Amino acid sequence: MAANRMSASTNPRNLFSAQNLKKDLPASIVVFLVALPLCLGIALASGAPLFAGILTGIIGGIVTASFSGSQLSVSGPAAGLTVIVLGAISQLGSYETFILAVFLAGIMQIVLGMIKAGTIANYFPSAVIEGMLAAIGIILILKQIPHAVGYDADYEGDESFKSGNNENTFTAIATAFSRLSYGAVIISALSILVLIYWPKVKKLAGVPAALVVVVIGVVLNYVFKGSELEIQADHLVTVPVVGSTEEFFNLFITPDFSQIMRSDVWIVAGTLAIVASLETLLSVEAVDKIDPLKRVSPTNRELFAQGIGNMTSGLLGGLPMTAVIVRSSANVNSGARTKLSAIFHGIWLTLSLLLIPGVINSIPLACLAAILLMTGYKLARIALFQKMWREGKDQFIPFVVTVLAVVFTDLLKGVGIGMAVGIFYILRNNLRNPYFYTIGRNGDKKVIHIKLAEEVSFLNKAAIQYTLNHLPDESDVVIDGTNSRYIDSDVLEIIHNFKHNAYSRGIIVQLVNIKHKYDVPQLKDLIFKPEKIRETEAAPANN
């Protein structure tokens, strides 16, 4: 088991091995095809130039992935930030001032990485992470159904329950089915069949099914032209067409540094830094869970990489970015092995903008929706719900609450609600397990043995107080701290007070291996001073 778990910071010389490239190049194409419409849609929903969405995807792929230690996460514009971005652009008065805030947010993220703030990711219960993944899968399915049937009026890349046109996810689906495009339905249905059955044919499995789906979509788009099945222009991918070098460089926007002393700019920057960092850490944690090699991403390095990416994005006129679970999930499910897949997806975004905008603009959104529908199904598979149910209600309830909260609110609010429920169950279990309680007899007297747990914290105070207050009178009580590495001072006070006053109830109390004071165990001594462990192990031999 331990041999399969390795650091995500693998040796860079291994990245370009033939075995990795064989997996990463096809996966990068799939991620590129998924990322392209999402970059455009998120830019549209954010009230930013469409080019800014693609630019952010390019920077997230080439720049951020190069600095990142995560092998499978993909960075780019995040749907979870659209509301913040839309409001911030309006509040700050100009896009140039907004991208100044993005640049400053990047600096703040670098500082967060330097002060080791990435460790916060370790404090999210696994049930909440699993719930977030399943919820993202359900959201993908619900949000892509309208595009799969040819209705794209609300195509904004928004993952929240409420849509930007005063509809919600369910009403948008109902409206979509009332306005079917049969050409889109044929393309999406055929695409799903290919995605299901193509990999099962051994002779064909070497060619990515998603790539086949896109080719089929482009071909059918041309075949359907002039017929009742024709795919309308608003159901095709749309990227800016650049006619000259001058037009290309005119797409870039630089920050207005003259506004750097404005307090509202710094407030927006701080908001973006905190929200983007939290969403990144959640996404990286989730991606590590579905990594077939079970690698562990260095979260502090990831914050540093995101900071570099957001600084670059702000300087060139892009949107704020995060590690994004949708593109990352597509990356994992496409068989990627290293971060070369993310880097190459950024290169493909650049080349598509410069060389083949006409071909890209011929891809129906229906075939891309089919790819995302299958990705969503893999994330929210029924087997996952069955697994969480078998693990008991302490896992299942936080999992389900997270799923429902994310689906019906948004990613951050949903995870926050799931965390609250998860922490409740953690605290409840902690309160129930501060000691082991046995009852015996010594003649006519009851002998009660209370063996304290390894860690007895302030949270156990109420349970221990209740137990001691309800012990039977005229009994012998042994409170054993032999296994305890730490007992909170408040709990110690309760125990010593109980011993001092127990005679009034005819109780004889014996304390075994309970100190008057415990120092909090220092984990750093074990991590950074392994020689102490060796000295302790060798001590018996030296005596």
Task: Write the burial class of residue 520 (CB in 10 Å: 0-12 exposed, 13-18 middle, 19+ buried).
Answer: exposed
Residue 541 or 488, more confident = 488
Q: What angle do CA 405, 411, 416 make, to 5 degrees?
A: 65
User: What is 473-486 written as a DSSP string?
Assistant: SS-EEEEE-TT-SE
**pLDDT, tens digit, for every residue of 481-526?**
888 888 888 889 889 888 888 888 888 999 998 888 887 765 554 4
Of 45-59, 430-444, 507-521, the range with the lowest mean pLDDT is: 430-444
Is pLDDT above 80 for 435? no
- The DSSP bridge pattern shows strands 74-77 and 508-512 to be unpaired
Is pLDDT above 90 for 105? yes
Rg (CA), the chain: 28
What is d(CA 177, CA 465) in angstroms, rounded to the nearest whole number?
61
What is d(CA 64, CA 280) in angstroms, rounded to the nearest whole number?
12
Is pLDDT above 60 for 339? yes
Task: Report pLDDT for 411.
Answer: 72
What is d(CA 325, CA 342) in angstroms, rounded to the nearest whole number?
13
User: What is 495-506 written as a DSSP string?
Assistant: HHHHHHHGGGGT
Q: What angle do CA 196, 198, 202 make, to 5 degrees?
A: 125
What is d(CA 415, CA 136) in angstroms, rounded to the nearest whole number?
11
Task: Report pLDDT for 532.
Answer: 44
Q: Where are the alpha helices (DSSP H) in 291-364?
A: 299-316, 325-333, 340-354, 357-360
Q: What are phi and psi of 260, to 5 degrees?
A: -65, -20
Residues 367, 30: contact at Cβ < 8 Å? no
**Domain range summary for the chain, segments of one domain joined by +:** 15-152+165-402, 434-512
Burial 140-164 (b: 16+ CB within 10 A, else e): bbbbbbbbbbbbbebbbbbbbbbbe
Q: Which residue in 478, 523, 522, 528 sits closest to 498, CA to CA?
A: 478
The proportion of the chain whose per-residue pLDDT surpasses 90, expressed as a percent, equals 34
434-512 belongs to which CATH class? alpha beta
Residue 389 or 504, more confident = 389
Task: Report pLDDT for 3.
Answer: 41
pTM of the entire predicted model: 0.68
